[in-house]
Structures are given as structure tokens and as C-alpha cells.
Amino acid sequence: MERIVIVGGGLAASRTCEQLRSRGYEGELVMLCAEPHPPYDRPPLSKAALLEEEHDSTFPTDYAQLSVDVRLGVAATGLVPDARTVQTTDGELSYDALVIATGASPIRLPGPGRQFTVRTVEDAAQLRAELKPGQRVVLVGASWISAEVATAALRRGCSVTCIEAGPAPLSAALGADVGQRFLPWWSEVDLRLDTGVAEVTETGVQLANGEQVDADVVVTGIGVRPAVDWLSGSGIALDTGVVVDEHLRTSLPGIYALGDVAVRWSPRWNTRIRVEHWDDAREAARTLAGVLLHDPSSQDPLPVHDPVPYFWSDQFGHKIQYVGHHSPEDTLVIRGDGTPQWAAAWVDAEGRLTAHLSIDAPRLMIDARMAIAAGARPDEAALRDPQAKLAPPRGR
């Protein structure tokens, strides 16, 4: 392969460059990065970057040393697979292999008023400038991002209202039973549950029931859409993102996708999953480099990307850690129910641990991740007791 083109300038793109070079790829490597900055880390944008004026989460990667041709401010606008060509805002570019790592963009609400989202450094800097003491901040959606923004806004002396369509914070991701357990953390937030927002107005938001809620700052945290517009008409298979198999191969030859934009086949979960987690983007890059450089004449199997997903969130002075992947049919078991050290576990119909959520307890997260990876079926007593190990002893 003489030229690998990577479209996207985030974690997945940056790590793919590093991994390819560290595994000995010597061909041309071009990274098209729509943003005007070299790749940077996003998790701090809804955390430290809302508190610290000079926060900089740029990756320390030396692209010149890696001989990566980084084209800042250049976006892919189209794909012509038969010609193995990408159309860009700076002309056409041919490739031998193409990596799609364009991430996702926040979903916005309708309406004429200004609404903030948090995806880029500019978003974070603009929002930080608004978070002044006494400002009335309205958050739409009690999501992971909103919880982190609420934490920062309260710390900066703002008054915070959060309007959530579901019955509890984080209920879209974790269900109402778990979400309700977080309510005490939201005690300083005017949290309005089961309430829809119709639009963002000049003076705040208008609720679905017609009521107007005034705000100085409106922040929308209702999810993201994969950045796939530029692929329309290319013939590539799309679902809730770019469809890839467990080797990160798309439906078109020579084209791969990873990170937030990809929806991948997971043999572990026997379904397609789109994982919008930092850890997944990083790990996928390692696998993808192995797939791209795989020698078909060797006996080595093609690398598979199918880790146990891992996600964390820092909110209200706590660290939440979630591992695995649960479906609505799984059974929820609260560990240490009624104690401050509670955790949540999900098991499937066969009793297999599918997911686990813990708070300020990295040890529990590590144990649960090993248990899920091992396909463990912990007994009821172990599930209920957060002190009990879920992972089978090593060597078994």
C-alpha cells in the first residue's frame, strides 16, 4: 500500500497514524482533519476545560516525526470508491486504503435561540466564557455530558435547570431504576423530569407543554449523530453509522472505519453496536493497524476488534465507570442495595454478566470487566454483594 488516507482528526485518526508507524508501515500517510487544530482529547472538554482558562488537551503526538501529512482545515466532501478517490475541500485525493474516522456531531434542537453543545475546543471555550456567577443555565437532557456541564456550571456559581424527557437522569443509557439513584447528586439542580423541550427561543427554551423557561445559556446534551453526510451517494453501507465487520472493514473494498462513526459487528454480543467511548476508539486503532498491515499469505488470523466496552464520566465529584453492553431485556441487580457503595450489574437470560456500573470504585470495574470478558455467570449472592468477586479466579 503506497498511500493510506485517514479522514478525521480525532482520537481514532491520531492513534491510527501512531499505530501504523509503530508497526512499521513506511508508505504515505495523509490525515484530513476538518478542524483547524491538530487532534486533541475530547473528554476534558466537558470537565476541566469548562473550569480552567488555559486548558489544552492536544495530543502530544509529533506528526512530522511520524511523517504524517496532516492537512488541517481540510474536510472530505465525497467518496468515489470505484476511482479510489476522496473529494475534499482542497481537491481530490487518491488512496490505496481509506480510513473513516469522522466521529459524530451533536444533535441540535430547532428554534431561533442560541444553543451551546460541547464537541470541539471552540464549543468548550465559548461555553466556559458564559459560565459566570449568577447566570441561569438551562441544560436540555440529563445525559452524561449534561451532568458534567452541570457540575462545572454549579462550581462556577451559575444556577442550573435541567429538562429531561425521561423519568430520571441518565435513564436513556442506564434505565430509570439506576438513574433514580443519582437524584441526590442533582439536589442543587432544578431538575424537571418527564418534560420535553419543543425549541430554543431567544429567551430560553419552550417546553412541549407550551411553558417558557428563561435562560441566559442553553446547553443541549441530547446525543450525537455520526458524521456520514459526506458519504452519501458513495454506496457504502450505513446504518446508525458506517457499518463495519469485526475487522473494521466497511462494505467497500479497501475502506475501513472506527471510532464514534462506526457501527460494528460484535461477535461477543452477537449484534451490531456503535460505541461512542474514548477507550473503544483508542483500542480500535490498534486492531485496525494490524488489519491494514496483515499479510494474507501468513498463517496469522486477521485481528478482531471486540473488546468489552468501557466508559467513564466525572460528575458531581464522583467517577462513574460502566463496562459491558446491556440490552433492555437483561435483568438489573443492584449490588450493596441501600448502602452508599452500591453498584449495578446486568445479567442476560442465561445468567451471564453483560454490564456493570460502579461509582468511585475502580477495583469493581476491573473485576467486572474481567468477568464479562470471561463470560462469567456469577451466582445471586456474589451479584448482590459488591465485596464479592465476579471474575473467575485466574488460571481457570
Ligand X SMILES: Cc1cc2nc3c(=O)[nH]c(=O)nc-3n(C[C@H](O)[C@H](O)[C@H](O)COP(=O)(O)OP(=O)(O)OC[C@H]3O[C@@H](n4cnc5c(N)ncnc54)[C@H](O)[C@@H]3O)c2cc1C
Q: Which residues are annotated as a binding site?
A: 9, 12, 42, 47, 76, 119, 260, 278
Are the beta carbons of 281 and 259 closer than 8 angstroms?
yes
Comparing CB distances to ligand X, the nearer of 158 and 347 is 158
Comparing CB distances to ligand X, the nearer of 45 and 376 is 45
Q: According to the binding rule CB under 6 A, does residue 42 interact with ligand X?
A: yes
CA distance 271 to 255: 21
Q: According to the binding rule CB under 6 A, does residue 225 interact with ligand X?
A: no
Kindly list the strands in the beta sheet with 217-220, ordered across the sheet, starting from the edge strand earlier in the chain. 190-192, 159-163, 136-140, 217-220
Are the beta carbons of 240 and 274 closer than 8 angstroms?
yes
Binding mask 253-292 for ligand X (x = CB under 6 A): ------xxx--------------xxxx-x-----------
| Cell numbers for 84 | 479510489
Q: According to the binding rule CB under 6 A, does residue 153 interact with ligand X?
A: no
Comparing CB distances to ligand X, the nearer of 33 and 131 is 33
Query: Can you tell me which of 63, 116, 186, 230 binds ligand X, judged by CB under 6 A?
Result: 230
Least distance to ligand X, CB of residue 1, Å: 20
Q: According to the binding rule CB under 6 A, does residue 63 interact with ligand X?
A: no
Are the beta carbons of 69 and 31 closer than 8 angstroms?
yes
Comparing CB distances to ligand X, the nearer of 43 and 113 is 43
Residues annotated within the binding site for FAD are 9, 12, 42, 47, 76, 119, 260, 278
Quick count: other Cβ atoms within 10 Å of Cβ 91?
A: 8
Comparing CB distances to ligand X, the nearer of 13 and 193 is 13
User: Cα 387 from chain centroid?
Assistant: 30
Kindly list the strands in the beta sheet with 242-244, ordered across the sheet, starting from the edge strand earlier in the chain. 242-244, 262-266, 271-273
Residue 151, C-beta contacts closer than 8 angstroms, at least 6 positions apart: 47, 314, 315, 316, 317
Quick count: other Cβ atoms within 10 Å of Cβ 387?
A: 9
Residue 58 DSSP class: B
Residue 176, C-beta contacts closer than 8 angstroms, at least 6 positions apart: 166, 167, 168
Query: Can you tell me which of 32, 178, 189, 365 binds ligand X, judged by CB under 6 A?
Result: 32
Give percent helix, percent strand, percent coil of the chain, each to the nearest 5.
Answer: 25, 30, 45
Least distance to ligand X, CB of residue 250, Å: 15
Q: Which of 131, 148, 141 is nearest to 109 (CA)?
A: 141
Q: Which of 160, 283, 156, 303 is nearest to 218 (CA)?
A: 160
Please give the size of the binding site for ligand X, defined by CB under 6 A.
37
CA distance 250 to 383: 39
Least distance to ligand X, CB of residue 270, Å: 23
Least distance to ligand X, CB of residue 89, Å: 8
Least distance to ligand X, CB of residue 345, Å: 20
Comparing CB distances to ligand X, the nearer of 177 and 229 is 229
Q: According to the binding rule CB under 6 A, does residue 365 interact with ligand X?
A: no
Are the beta carbons of 376 and 390 closer than 8 angstroms?
yes
Q: According to the binding rule CB under 6 A, does residue 228 interact with ligand X?
A: no
3-class DSSP state for residue 324?
A: strand
Least distance to ligand X, CB of residue 315, Å: 9
Comparing CB distances to ligand X, the nearer of 32 and 189 is 32
CA distance 204 to 213: 6
Q: According to the binding rule CB under 6 A, does residue 100 interact with ligand X?
A: no
Binding mask 1-20 for ligand X (x = CB under 6 A): ------xxxxxxx-------
Least distance to ligand X, CB of residue 194, Å: 26
The residues of the shown chain that bind ligand X, judged by CB under 6 A, are 7-13, 32-35, 42-43, 45-46, 75-76, 101-104, 118-119, 145, 227, 230, 259-261, 276-279, 281, 311-313
